[in-house]
């Protein structure tokens, strides 16, 4: 029973992280399509990852501001 709870918690955590990353990627694609297109075209993902981290940081900062 304990392993089922740990497995369910781990699955939930992975699912939430995946959903957040997918939403941030879609948001970045809609707000800054040039960075995404350059990352896909050139194969250099550094600017894409940097912008993705910035989007996540700004979202987290906005959420924490309300608390």
Can you tell me whether residue 2 is helix, strand or coil?
Answer: helix
Say how many domains are in the chain: 1
| 14 domain-assigned | no
Q: Is the pTM of this model over 0.85?
A: no
The DSSP output letter for 67 is: -
What is the DSSP annotation of 29-58? Answer: HHH-HHHHHHHHHH---HHHHHHHHHHHHH
| 7 domain-assigned | no
| 18 domain-assigned | no
Specify the pLDDT at position 43: 78
| 3 domain-assigned | no
| 63 domain-assigned | yes
Per-residue pLDDT of the chain (67 residues; tens, 9 = 90+): 677 777 778 888 889 889 988 888 888 888 888 877 887 788 777 887 888 888 889 888 988 888 7
What domain range is 31 assigned to?
A: 24-67
Specify the pLDDT at position 32: 81
| 10 domain-assigned | no
């Amino acid at each position: 029973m304990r392993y089922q709870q740990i497995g369910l918690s781990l699955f939930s955590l992975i699912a939430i992280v995946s959903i957040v990353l997918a939403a941030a990627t879609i948001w970045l694609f809609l707000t800054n399509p040039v960075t995404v297109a350059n990352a896909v075209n050139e194969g250099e993902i550094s600017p894409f990852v940097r912008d993705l981290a910035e989007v996540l940081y700004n979202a987290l900062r906005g959420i924490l501001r309300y608390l």
